[in-house]
Amino acid sequence: MAAEIHTATGHLPPFWDKSVIFFANILSLFYGNLAETEVLKKEVGALETYGSRLLPLVDLMFRQRGNVLVLEVAPDGHLVDYFQSELRLTLPEVRVIPHAVYAELGGDYAAMSAAAKQAFDGLKELDNQWLDGYVVDNILIRLAGHLGKKTIGTREGSRKGNDKMLLQRFLESQGLSVFESHEAGDVEEINAAMRRLAVHGYHEAVIKAPIGASGVGMIKFPAQKVCVASDFPEYIFFEGKVLVQGWLDEHIPGVQVVGSPSVQLFVGLDEAFLYDVTDQILSADSIHEGNVAPPRFFSQGHDCRAELLRQARIIAEWLHGEGYRGPGSIDFQVIRRDGNLEIRVCEVNARVTGATYPALLARTFLPGGAWMMRNIRFDPQHNTDNLLGVIDEAGLLFRPGQDTGILPFNFNPDSEGRVIKGQFLFLSPDMHGCEESIRRMQAVDKIKGVYDRD
């Protein structure tokens, strides 16, 4: 049965009317591709602390109370106080289970370590009937069976929703504009595909593993390059074939890159909701660094909202049909070529994404307003209470009832608990107000930071 698709951009959708045990299993993001996971850990750093971003979100996504959030490390106590005392958010109960222990929970109880048995016994005592996570992996499926509970989605639906190869085939079947792409199973086929792209005028080609995130699983080469086996880590071929795509940028005559918008969505049991249109802030290597809403290029004569939403509806129906259930984002590229706008789907992230956190918080506190999310790396590092205090002393810390301010929603600490990096949400009725808050934060002498990747 096809899903009914609703569009209500700028407002929260009706999320799950359920109570959940949500696992921040970010180290399961690549469905068993351990080598790729190790690269992600090295690239991003302190990956185990990213799950704390879920703390203010879980009770927004699961409307029955009594939710439980399973993290790898405990959340920052000062942020917990800020969420509860200042933002007046309800928060889930937190259980701390390191990933190595989580990995045991899908196995036989008798073979578990003492730590895993203790974690399992604690989970079994909970009344919540549903499990969910960043992804639904084999561990989560088996754990649900052992506990006599259910998962929100299936492993197949979760994995298919994140598969770039399946997405490419679907887009082509629908006659949508796509990036010129070829499937390749080895280096010889990759070189043949790159030669075809070079003939068609591409300066660069990108090789994509079907499953990847945050730039991991994606390698860019000059289209004229003759690749050898050592150019590729083994994890690239973990799923089998890879995609070889033409890199569409301003090196191609007549092309102007307009933006990289995303549509935020939620796929329910028999409905899907498109609830925000954002733009990605990308590095020179197309690595995600932040988001803004609405896209700034909308006010610069490039308002393509209707076409973005049209294509997003098609993708939402596909995700529902593949069995995915939960939040996600659809990333696009918008270019102007010889005076005409062209819009292409880049990828789908079928999970809580880097844009889900700020979008949900922004639409909770400022429906219909503007927002910007930035990752900021600090040098020197800060103690959490000091960082929050400095922001508050500058008159910038957001509280309910205000229409402008800065809402910190996660800190990434070093081994001594000092904040290396944080994720900050800038709220205002319009983008000018968001940018003014950033300027004011940058002007605070006690805060020295630079923008960083997500």
Measured distance CA(396)–CA(386) in Å, rounded: 14
Do 62 and 102 belong to one domain? yes
Let me know whether 325 and 283 are in one domain.
yes
Determine the pLDDT at residue 302.
Answer: 76
Domain end call among 358, 393, 419? 358
Q: What is the pLDDT of residue 28?
A: 94
122 and 47 within one domain: yes
Domain boundary, last residue among 293, 325, 358: 358
Residue 158: C-alpha distances to residues 4, 104, 246, 299 (Å) = 20, 21, 27, 35
89 and 187 assigned to the same domain? no
In a domain, residue 417? The reply is yes
146 and 41, same structural domain?
yes
CA distance 287 to 454: 8
Beta strand 4-7 pairing with 271-282 = parallel
- Beta partners for residue 349, in sequence order: 329
Question: CA-to-CA distance for 306 and 343, rounded, in angstroms?
Answer: 11
| pLDDT tens for the chain, residues 1 to 454 | 788 999 989 999 999 999 999 999 999 999 999 999 999 988 877 777 778 899 999 999 999 999 999 999 999 999 999 999 999 999 999 999 999 999 999 999 999 999 999 999 999 999 999 999 999 999 999 999 999 999 999 999 999 999 999 999 999 999 999 999 999 999 999 999 999 999 999 999 999 999 999 889 999 999 999 999 999 999 999 999 999 999 999 999 999 999 999 999 999 999 999 999 999 998 777 778 899 999 999 988 778 999 999 999 999 999 999 999 999 999 999 999 998 999 999 999 999 999 999 999 999 999 999 999 999 998 878 887 889 999 999 999 999 999 999 999 999 888 888 888 999 999 999 999 999 999 999 999 888 888 887 7
Tell whether 364 is covered by a domain.
Answer: no
442: domain CATH number?
Answer: 3.30.70.1130
Residues 326 and 342 in one domain: yes
**Total tally of structural domains belonging to the chain:** 4
45 and 5, same domain (yes or no): no
The enclosing domain of 301 has a CATH number of 3.30.470.20
Specify the 3-state DSSP secondary structure of 220.
strand
Q: Is residue 419 part of a domain?
A: yes
Q: Do 329 and 397 reside in the same domain of the chain?
A: no
Name every residue whose Cβ is closer than 8 Å to that of residue 268 and which is 6 or more positions away in sequence: 3, 13, 14, 16, 325
Residue type, 405: G
Q: Tell me, yes or no, whether 340 and 322 share the same domain.
A: yes
Provide CB contacts within 8 A for 249, sequence distance 6+.
Answer: 203, 204, 255, 257
**Shared-domain flag, residues 294 and 441:** no
Torsions phi, psi for 389 (to 5 deg): -65, -40
Sheet containing strand 20-23, edge to edge, reads 93-96, 68-71, 20-23, 130-133, 150-151
Q: Are residues 30 and 138 in the same domain?
A: yes
| Domain residue limits at 333 | 1-13+155-174+249-358
The verdict on residue 363 lying in a domain is: no
Reduced to 3 states (helix: H, G, I; strand: E, B; else coil), residue 330 is strand
Residue 82 lies inside a defined structural domain of this protein: yes
